Amino acid sequence: MSVLTKDQLSELLLKSNFHRFLNITVESISENTITLRLPFKEEFLAGASGTHIHGGIIASLIDIAGDFVFAAILGTALPTINMRVDYLSAGGREDLIASAHVIKLGRSVGISDIVIANPEGKTIAIGRGLYSTAAAGKSSPPGEGKQG
């Protein structure tokens, strides 16, 4: 039950300067699930060895995917209430794929689970995000400006 198309979700995603810096793309959108791709950049590497992606980048991808699975349904991004990240493996010098799925969509809170994997399907991290769905009522979905 997606309100936004893949192109509309991509447009909404790229309104943020940070998201544009990350260069995140929408890979797919289906009922209650989205998949995003984070193309590898040298700037994402952590430590002197430069062999793995910084955990903050992975956490950001979890938060963005967890939020935008609701944006696909509600037509707007939501404020994050809380987020959990479990790092399972180091992300290497490769793209990362984020798959987010809605667990609960309530009037005040939405919960999503997110899996971050490499292109071969190896799980790098998992996360859960809680988002304020009450905030969605304070703005109109794209293309539905207030008439007055």
User: How confident is the prediction along the chain (148 residues), in pLDDT tens digits per residue?
Assistant: 678 999 999 999 999 999 999 999 999 999 899 999 999 999 999 987 888 999 999 999 999 999 999 999 999 999 999 999 999 999 999 999 999 999 999 999 999 999 999 999 999 999 999 999 998 875 444 444 333 3
| pLDDT attached to residue 137 | 72
Q: Residue holding tokens 């893949």?
A: 6
- Signed CA dihedral, 26, 124, 59, 69: sign only: positive
| pLDDT attached to residue 1 | 62
Q: Which helix (H) or strand (E) holds 83?
A: strand 80-87
Let me know if domain 6-137 sits in CATH 3.40.50.720: no
Identify whether the C-beta of residue 118 lies closer than 8 Å to the C-beta of residue 100.
no
> Which letter does DSSP use for residue 81 in this model?
E
Parse the chain into domains and list their residue ranges.
6-137
